[in-house]
Amino acid sequence: MKKTFLSIGIILGCVSLIHAQQDKHFSMFYASKVQSNPAAAGFFEGDYQLFTNYRNQWSAISDNPYNTISASFDTRFDAGNGFIGTGINFYNDVSGDARYTVNQITVPINYAIELNRDNRLSIGLAPSFYQRSIKSNSVSWDNQWTGVDFNTSINNGEVFPQENLSVGKFDLNAGLFWQGNFSKYSWLGVGVSAQHLTKQKVNYFFEDNGLYRKLVVSAYGNFSQNNSNFTLRPNAMAFFQGPNRAFIIGSGFDFMIKGNSVHTGYNRRTSIEFGVYARVKDAFIINTLFHMSGFTFGASVDLNTSSLNQATGGFGAMEFLIAYKFSNARGLGAPSIH
């Protein structure tokens, strides 16, 4: 029975209204496609891509909200009639009074074949290491209530294998990704990935509780014209993980401030992008991204549209990102991808 109470306490302590086995999710998912699909590694303009972001969620209703940090790097190399993409992803998530922590390191690798001049199809795998931990000694219990406050020096009466519980497992993801170029300025990418294929056991007490497998379907667009200062960037993602579902759709509206240098290439494109998205039955999302000389700086806010807004006052989450795309000094070593 005490183990049951612990499980319930963990879920409540994480301040989540969704099922405990749901993975991380980001509002600016389109900024680093490789984090959700290993087959998307290498599909970007330039030779190398660095990305990091930070998300803070439920700070309006908890002193210990979700805090998530992620980082990724990916690149590609010529290989026959296509390229090999690879990189590394990392994310860390900490939440709740129990300091429920998830760490994951993933190494995506794919092979993209050139179907023709304007179409590429990629298949990828991503082995990874997945760890979850809880600090049980940071949680207070009913029998520690003195009538005024909680006294953690009182024996809580609970039985734990150890004060800090930790589970680490091997994980495996796989994916497909297609990208088609309609012109030098317009392209569309569509991907599907399956995550947690090993359905690894993550329960601290019972061996029969495996992490739900996850299906992610995503689409990314970039549409512009020659000599135009405006670019439309629609994006969409849906994921299905056990009883959990999420669907997000919207678009970025990019306005060019300064274009690339015509002859020297010394100055690179500078623009500002405004985005409007909706996570169905959950939140309205607005963001701003500033692109300059290969760098991207972005900020996003989630405004609750569900019944949860009565507790949050409409404020769900904030996200911040920094990304950098760059090329070899002589522009060699990787095929051009828009």
Q: 33 in a domain, yes or no?
A: yes
Quick one: pLDDT at residue 99?
76
Q: Compute the distance between CA of residue 26 and CA of residue 70 in angstroms, rounded to an integer.
A: 10
What gap in Å lies between CA 327 and CA 3, rounded to an integer?
A: 53
The answer to the question of residue 333 being in a domain is no
What pLDDT score does 1 carry?
Answer: 37
Q: Does residue 42 form part of some domain? A: yes
Residue 338: inside a domain: no
CB 120 within 8 A of CB 178: yes
Residue 200 neighbours by CB distance under 10 Å: 15
Name 80's Cβ contacts closer than 8 Å, sequence gap at least 6.
none
Please give the pLDDT value at position 314.
79
CA 129, CA 334: separation in Å to the nearest integer?
29
**Residues whose CB falls within 8 Å of the CB of residue 145, separated by 6 or more in sequence, listed in order:** none
Q: Which domain holds residue 148?
A: 2-326
CATH number of domain containing 274: 2.40.160.40
Q: What is the pLDDT of residue 20?
A: 43
- Predicted pLDDT at 335: 43
Query: Is 101 among the domain residues?
Result: yes
135 Cβ contact partners less than 8 Å away, ≥ 6 residues apart = 98, 99, 163, 164
CA pair distance 137, 151, nearest whole angstrom: 12
| 22 phi and psi angles, rounded to 5 deg | -80, 135
Contact 134, 98 (CB under 8 A): yes
The per-residue pLDDT for range 30-89, each reduced to its tens digit, is 999 999 999 999 999 889 999 999 999 877 777 778 899 999 999 999 998 999 999 999
Q: What is the DSSP letter of 251?
A: E
Residues of the chain with pLDDT under 70: 1-22, 97, 136-141, 144, 148, 150-164, 202-209, 261-267, 329-338
At residue 17, the pLDDT reads 35
Q: Check residue 277 and give its pLDDT.
A: 98
pLDDT at residue 156 in the model: 65
Say whether 233 sits in a helix, a strand or coil.
strand
If one counts the domains in the chain, the total is 1
Tell me what pLDDT residue 203 has.
Answer: 67
Q: Which of 24, 241, 237 is nearest to 130 (CA)?
A: 24
Residue with tokens 């090993």: 198
Indicate whether 17 belongs to any domain.
yes
Length of the chain: 338
In-domain check, residue 275: yes
CB contact at 8 A, 187 and 222: yes
Q: Where are the beta strands (DSSP E) in 44-98?
A: 48-57, 66-78, 82-95
Residue 83 domain flag: yes
DSSP secondary structure letter of residue 85:
E
